[in-house]
Amino acid sequence: MAVYVVFVLVVDRGEHVALRLALGIMAVAAFGLFIAAEVRMLRQLDEMHRRIQLEALAIAFPTAILLVFTLGVLERAGVVVWGFQRLRDVWPLVALPYMIGLAIATRRYR
């Protein structure tokens, strides 16, 4: 996350293109390492916790697709949805349904 914050600050200042590109690649690589760590963590979970994660993803993935599709339809119709003018603004629509799905699945298995 720190690499991404530095990347945003450098991009906003309009620094040299090579520096922005290098920091952008570093931010993507850091996120890739985060995903690898998440996969390792999932592989160490017991069966119940794996099932909770699976159910959370089963709720989140189609919900996120529906939300992004809805934004695309609204954009195509000429409606501007505040806060979602750029692709980088859409990531909460992927993270939020996962958190909701995780809460639902965790509650189910209490």
pLDDT for 57 equals 92
pLDDT class of 1 with cuts at 50, 70, 90: low
In this predicted model, what pLDDT tens digit does every residue of 87-98 receive, in sequence order? Answer: 777 777 788 999
The residue ranking higher by pLDDT, 51 or 3, is: 51
Average pLDDT over residues 56-74: 90
CA-to-CA separations, 26 to 35, 70, 90, in angstroms, rounded: 14, 32, 21
- The 10 Å Cβ neighbour count of residue 9 is 11
Q: Indicate the average pLDDT of the chain.
A: 86
Residue 33, classified by CB atoms within 10 Å of its CB into exposed (0-12), middle (13-18) or buried (19+), is exposed
Residue 54 CA to its chain's centroid (Å): 16
pLDDT over 90 at 56, yes or no:
yes
Average pLDDT over residues 50-77: 90
Kindly tell me the sign of the dihedral angle through the C-alpha atoms of 16, 17, 18, 22: positive
The residue ranking higher by pLDDT, 52 or 10, is: 52
pLDDT over 90 at 13, yes or no:
no
Tokens representing 52?
A: 């909770």
pLDDT over 90 at 68, yes or no:
no
The residue ranking higher by pLDDT, 84 or 78, is: 78
